[in-house]
Amino acid sequence: MKWFLYCIPFLWICCLDSPELNSWYKGNLHTHTFWSDGDAPPEIAVAWYKDQGYDFLALSDHNILSVGEKWIKVLDKDPGGWPPSMTKAKLEDVRSRFGEDWPITRIVEDTLEMALLTLDKLKKYFEEPGKFLMIQAEEITDSYNEYPIHVNATNVVEFIAPQGGNSAHDVLQRNINAVYEQRDKTGQAMIAHVNHPNFGWGIVAEDLINLQGDTFFEVYNGHPRGGNWGDDAHPSTDRMWDIVLAMRLHQGLDPLFGLAMDDTHDYYKHKIGKSNPGRGWVMVKAQMLNEDNIIASLEEGNFYSTTGVILEDVQTNDRTLTIHIREEVNTVYQTQFIGTPKEFDASSEPVLNAQGEPAHITSVYSTEIGQVFSETTDNPAVFYFTGTEMYVRAKIISDKLQDNPFSKGDLETAWTQPVLVK
């Protein structure tokens, strides 16, 4: 296991610098439509991403694939509440964008209904080889007691039912296992990732530390209840990431990669408090725009996550980690090089509830974990390894306010993946 641990970063290093990986592809792996609880037909969602210059997209509706027949009622107006409703105004929006003959409708017992387009039909209309790719996905939506536990399965072949379990960790592990069992059965490239760990405060760092098979979680999620920044009792997802990284690597386990996803549900109302498109995405460095190459690059850590900051390149060798930032006029970029030393205090103290029992809250860990080793406004930003670091990752924070942010005052930010230091 130790051999694998030390080989991963240098595989990642070599791949990032490899001339074969010559293109950056912009993508989102977490979004919703009327197939579950989004507020738009799938063609409206797909058109938004394609129009905004995305290269790949996965529709990841809750506990369903975009296959088969599904009809939804078309109401005079949305009565409010959840889930959102299809309305005649939205139907006219579809017709105005795609033509009068586009939506398939019927009348059932005096009620107007519209058929949802399947992924196969969406692919025929929107996909372009080398330009735009659609990937089949599912958000496996599960729970433990009152806690929501969600796992995204990307490039699945068949529907995966929520597996349940005896704890938050057990629910995560069972659902992740189901994804990789299907991968082994079908031979198709496939990944699972843990969604919005702070949504409903459902997942704590300890649930992720000993997960087998999973190497991805959302360090940023654009849903207004995503809890990215934590609160007085719960750590931010950034802090959670470092705790999990430090403890996993300390035990000889694989590292955890951080994704930024928008988790869109709301396409028609854009404002703080809504779950809107474009808040977070990944930039994947790959040889070609297809499922196999995108997933392979993700698994090798050949990507960064962002809410607006664009990187020209990420380069590393046995001495340095170098970040090349695409600068915007009159914009300052603060690059933080964050990590944990090899020799660190791995102890922790549980957070107790009112009854004096351990609460479902991430334990308190040493401040040695997730230190800011250095920070700079230089571009390129360079970190020189000393050999004392267990891992180093970069967080690049712009002084530019994010358009339509997760919360008021959010700045455009990017996160690179951790580099393990030999």
The predicted-structure confidence for 238-264, as pLDDT tens digits, reads as follows 999 999 999 999 999 999 999 999 999
The predicted-structure confidence for 180-221, as pLDDT tens digits, reads as follows 999 999 999 999 999 999 999 999 999 999 999 989 999 999
Residue 163 burial (CB count, 10 A): 18
- 147 located within any domain: yes
- 107 located within any domain: no
pLDDT given for residue 338 in this prediction: 98
* DSSP state for residue 168 in the 8-state scheme: H
Which residues touch 79 (CB under 8 Å, ≥6 apart)? 85
- 204 located within any domain: yes
Residue type, 256: L
- 93 located within any domain: no
Closest CA to 310 of 290, 294, 295, 331: 331
Mean pLDDT of 60-81: 96
Residue 394 contacts residue 335 (beta carbons within 8 Å) = yes
The total number of structural domains in the chain stands at: 1
pLDDT at 418 over 90: yes
pLDDT given for residue 13 in this prediction: 40
The predicted-structure confidence for 2-38, as pLDDT tens digits, reads as follows 333 333 333 344 344 454 668 999 999 999 999 999 9
pLDDT given for residue 149 in this prediction: 98
pLDDT at 109 over 90: yes
Q: Look over the chain and give the mean of its residue pLDDT values, rounded to a whole number.
A: 94
**Domain interval for residue 371:** 2-70+116-420
- 47 located within any domain: yes
Give the burial string for 58-84 (b: 16+ CB within 10 Å, else e).
Answer: bbbbbebbbeeeeebebbeeeeeeeeb
SS3 123: helix
Residue 164 contacts residue 174 (beta carbons within 8 Å) = yes
The CATH code of the domain that includes 46 is 3.20.20.140
Residue with tokens 């499922």: 291
pTM of the model: 0.94
pLDDT given for residue 422 in this prediction: 85
- 298 located within any domain: yes
The predicted-structure confidence for 112-139, as pLDDT tens digits, reads as follows 999 999 999 999 999 999 999 999 999 9
Distance CA 98, CA 90 (A): 12
Distance CA 262, CA 305 (A): 11
Residue 167 burial (CB count, 10 A): 14
- 110 located within any domain: no
SS3 303: strand
- 133 located within any domain: yes
